Amino acid sequence: MELKPSEQRVLSDIFPSVAEVPGLSDYAWNKQAFKSGDVLFKPGQPCNRFVLLGHGTIRVQLQNDQGRNLLLYRIEPGQLCIHSLINLINDQNFSYITSADSDGWLCWAERSSFRSGWIAPRLSTLDL
């Protein structure tokens, strides 16, 4: 599903620099809603999206062989998951669990849009 105009404004409010980059705020972002407790990404899953958090809180954690989790950090609107960005750039799978601490939504662009030179060059101008 695509972002509604009101959600586009939220995205621009959270990432004000996005509105300043020609064409980036007009990109047809895909939207994914989530509920508290939902697992969004798992180890071994391909990292094939550039993600921006629009609303809610996401937890990034490592899990050992015994199933114990180690919290690395939380992501709130206005922040990026540096691990997913590195994985996306290097064509690596996720090596951690990303789950929702609260209800919310995120928006994403396909890897092909990110890598085609449409999004990545514009990000270099942002103060994220």
- The pTM for the full model equals 0.73
- Answer yes or no: is 50 within a domain: yes
Residue 86 confidence (pLDDT): 82
pLDDT tens for residues 47-105? 888 888 889 999 999 988 898 889 999 999 878 788 888 888 888 898 899 999 999 99
Residue 29 confidence (pLDDT): 74
CB 60 within 8 A of CB 74: yes
Residue 82 confidence (pLDDT): 82
How is residue 47 written in tokens?
A: 């990292």
User: In this structure, what CATH number is given to the domain that contains residue 62?
Assistant: 2.60.120.10
- Domain region containing 76: 5-122
Please tell me the total count of domains within the chain: 1
Radius of gyration for the alpha carbons in the chain, expressed in angstroms and rounded: 14
Give Cα 128 distance to the centre of its chain.
13
